[in-house]
Chains A and B, each alone.
Chain A
């Protein structure tokens, strides 16, 4: 007799069982396709959910890249008949001393205007700021310096990276010492900022702006008073109570004050995301359940149709465990194929979502094995009953089946 190695006693080569499983599934492809569809939708929604969640998280963090998650913004909207809502610059700058939760505070006001430099002219943002702004917005000066206390109301300007490009002509680059003209006033450039991509929360797009000292803003803007306060809170501070306290301190008859808190925004975004992922999880779970039942159905029918084969295999030496394993691997293979298709569909859905939301597509690598893995597990779970049924068939009756 041929020697049987004891370790392999009940283990068949996985590879060929899988290839045989694939051949069987192909033989009953119409029925398999229905079961696959459920698994596909289930896996796709789970993969889409995880990938979208992953991207949303990255996007949320990107949103607060400049301002940090402890940021508070106060915007003054005009109240009643006042043409502009105003804030008090000194009250804002005094917050650091007067409010225990405030680490830094910077007033600013922003507008648009036509800016000229030599022969060039461009429609750009103009922001009236104080020396504290770089700290609050993580600004980096590439060349020269930022606006300093000594500038007071002088005619100096710091130019954003993109704005500097727009104001440069071939052979006449905008550099330190160049002059920019706004509404007839000539400002001398003392600094150029490094590139800083705009995020939706930034109070102004500094990349595309010319910044001038707030004290002299009255010359080129409607009001020399700030309309926005950027505040950095202590990480331990409660954003709501601190916000209310600061609003009370800055309140004045010209303005209705609007508070934007990074924490609140994140909470809102997370809540929205949670609803999405709960929905997708439910869809995924239900589809996987339906798919699993489909797999069970396909396998049960397969067992019924292949009774003779099962009896024959038992007669030529398959153990009940061999038969069980054969059907389990078939169920897992069926589900795995659906899982791979679902992975592709889920990633496409995530890609489309990313495009539609203007996000950069990014893939969490652990999603790749997870999708098809979950599907294969579902296949094994739902294939168990048909497999056990097959292994318990009486070989004589099975051989007599037609």
Chain B
């Protein structure tokens, strides 16, 4: 499903370059729920951004669903992000002007889904995350946990193959974090979606099927090969 080959990423000018990823390789089979752990600055977000086609690697390659990603093809990477990938951010990133269901429906706009079809799809997705009764609320009228559930619904509305969640519970208290984690587990089981999740929380990581630990731009431990 996802294969990463010898990924390197270096920031900065040729004279003063900072290597952030120093040769990352791993693969993820379809339906996996994998946690990425590591201290701050170890390159977790950088890895997620490259796998999410938001950033380009300095060297190495990513194979998504059998095809090597061409990072230079902007239209194509946008299409893949829209259809095959889903993002959940630490900061939710909901658009404040839009209601919950409109936020959930936003990826459908770029999928050119006919307008009348969008609302029912978004409402069904909100139902899946347990927020059917909050469809018309604006983000400001929702709690942090509810906002993140809306964001999860938005990430899943296109039924992507891979969901990338960078510290999805990082802004939530431990109780709410556990609820969002439970939701992710539930959706993972029910929809069979593959999830790659960055977290600092060892407890939450322990509830994933697999854990990859990073340090200084390298993978130092992978529970799949323990």
Shortest beta-carbon distance, B192 to chain A, in Å?
15
Q: Which residues of B contact A10 (CB under 8 A)?
A: 75
Enumerate B65-109 residues with CB–CB distance to A below 8 Å.
74-75, 78-79, 81-84, 87, 89, 93, 95, 97, 106-107, 109
Contacts known (A1-B83, A399-B89, A399-B93); A315 close to B113, Cβ less than 8 A: no
Enumerate A1-51 residues with CB–CB distance to B below 8 Å.
1-2, 4-5, 8-10, 12-13, 16, 23-24, 27
Q: How far is the CA of A341 from the CA of B206 in the complex (A)?
A: 62
Q: How far is the CA of A317 from the CA of B75 in the complex (A)?
A: 9
Among the listed A1, A9, A309, A395, which residue makes an inter-chain contact with B95, where contact means beta carbons less than 8 Å apart?
A: A309
Most buried by A among B52, B81, B109: B109
Q: Are B97 and A317 in contact (CB under 8 A)?
A: no
Q: Are B54 and A318 in contact (CB under 8 A)?
A: no
Q: Are A318 and B95 in contact (CB under 8 A)?
A: no
Q: How far is the CA of A164 from the CA of B158 in the complex (A)?
A: 86
Q: Which residues of B contact A318 (CB under 8 A)?
A: 78, 110
Q: Which residues of A contact B128 (CB under 8 A)?
A: none
Give the size of the chain A interface in residues (CB under 8 angstroms). Answer: 30
**Mask of B23-49 contacts with A, CB within 8 angstroms, 1/0:** 000000000000000000000000001
Shortest beta-carbon distance, B225 to chain A, in Å?
30
Q: Are B110 and A13 in contact (CB under 8 A)?
A: no
Q: How far is the CA of A314 from the CA of B78 in the complex (A)?
A: 7
Q: Which residues of A contact B81 (CB under 8 A)?
A: 314-317
Shortest beta-carbon distance, B42 to chain A, in Å?
17
> Chain B contact residues (Cβ within 8 angstroms of A): what range?
20 to 34
Q: Which residues of A contact B89 (CB under 8 A)?
A: 399
Shortest beta-carbon distance, A25 to chain B, in Å?
12
Q: Are A317 and B54 in contact (CB under 8 A)?
A: no
**Mask of B188-226 contacts with A, CB within 8 angstroms, 1/0:** 000000000000000000000000000000000000000
Q: Are B75 and A316 in contact (CB under 8 A)?
A: no
Enumerate A284-341 residues with CB–CB distance to B below 8 Å.
308-309, 311-322
Q: Which residues of B contact A13 (CB under 8 A)?
A: 115
Shortest beta-carbon distance, A46 to chain B, in Å?
34
Q: Which residues of B contact A311 (CB under 8 A)?
A: 93
**Mask of B128-158 contacts with A, CB within 8 angstroms, 1/0:** 0000000000000000000000000010001
Among the listed B93, B112, B115, which residue makes an inter-chain contact with A8, where contact means beta carbons less than 8 Å apart?
A: B112
Shortest beta-carbon distance, B226 to chain A, in Å?
32
Q: Which residues of B contact A265 (CB under 8 A)?
A: none
Q: Which residues of A contact B55 (CB under 8 A)?
A: 396
Q: How far is the CA of A315 from the CA of B163 in the complex (A)?
A: 12
Q: How far is the CA of A23 from the CA of B115 in the complex (A)?
A: 18
Q: Are B115 and A2 in contact (CB under 8 A)?
A: no
B59 interface hit (Cβ, 8 Å): no
Contacts known (A316-B81, A316-B82); A27 close to B97, Cβ less than 8 A: yes
Q: Are B79 and A314 in contact (CB under 8 A)?
A: no
Among the listed B78, B106, B113, which residue makes an inter-chain contact with A319, where contact means beta carbons less than 8 Å apart?
A: B78
Shortest beta-carbon distance, A274 to chain B, in Å?
49
Give the residue name and chain of the A residue nearest to B50 (CB): A396
Contacts known (A316-B107, A316-B154, A399-B93); A4 close to B54, Cβ less than 8 A: no
Q: How far is the CA of A268 from the CA of B22 in the complex (A)?
A: 83
Q: Are A2 and B83 in contact (CB under 8 A)?
A: yes
Most buried by A among B78, B82, B83, B154: B78
Q: Are B83 and A316 in contact (CB under 8 A)?
A: no
Give the residue name and chain of the B residue nearest to A398 (CB): B54
Q: Are A316 and B112 in contact (CB under 8 A)?
A: no
Q: How far is the CA of A151 from the CA of B222 in the complex (A)?
A: 125
Q: How far is the CA of A24 from the CA of B95 in the complex (A)?
A: 12
Shortest beta-carbon distance, A287 to chain B, in Å?
31
Q: Are A12 and B109 in contact (CB under 8 A)?
A: yes
Give the residue name and chain of the B residue nearest to A315 (CB): B87
Q: Are A312 and B95 in contact (CB under 8 A)?
A: yes
Q: How far is the CA of A317 from the CA of B158 in the complex (A)?
A: 11
Q: Are A316 and B106 in contact (CB under 8 A)?
A: yes
B111 interface hit (Cβ, 8 Å): yes
Q: Are A2 and B54 in contact (CB under 8 A)?
A: no
Among the listed B49, B93, B95, B110, which residue makes an inter-chain contact with A317, where contact means beta carbons less than 8 Å apart?
A: B110
Q: How far is the CA of A311 from the CA of B91 in the complex (A)?
A: 13
Give the residue name and chain of the B residue nearest to A2 (CB): B111
Q: Are A4 and B111 in contact (CB under 8 A)?
A: yes
Q: Which residues of A contact B78 (CB under 8 A)?
A: 314, 317-320, 322
Contacts known (A312-B95, A399-B89, A399-B93); A5 close to B112, Cβ less than 8 A: yes
Given contacts A2-B83, A399-B89, 6 further A-B contacts (CB under 8 A): A2-B158, A16-B109, A312-B93, A317-B111, A395-B54, A399-B93
Task: List, sorted by A's number, 23 A–B pairs whose CB atoms are closer than 8 Å.
Answer: A1-B84, A4-B83, A4-B112, A5-B112, A13-B115, A16-B109, A308-B93, A311-B93, A312-B93, A312-B95, A315-B54, A315-B81, A316-B81, A316-B106, A316-B107, A317-B81, A317-B107, A317-B111, A318-B78, A320-B74, A322-B110, A395-B54, A396-B55
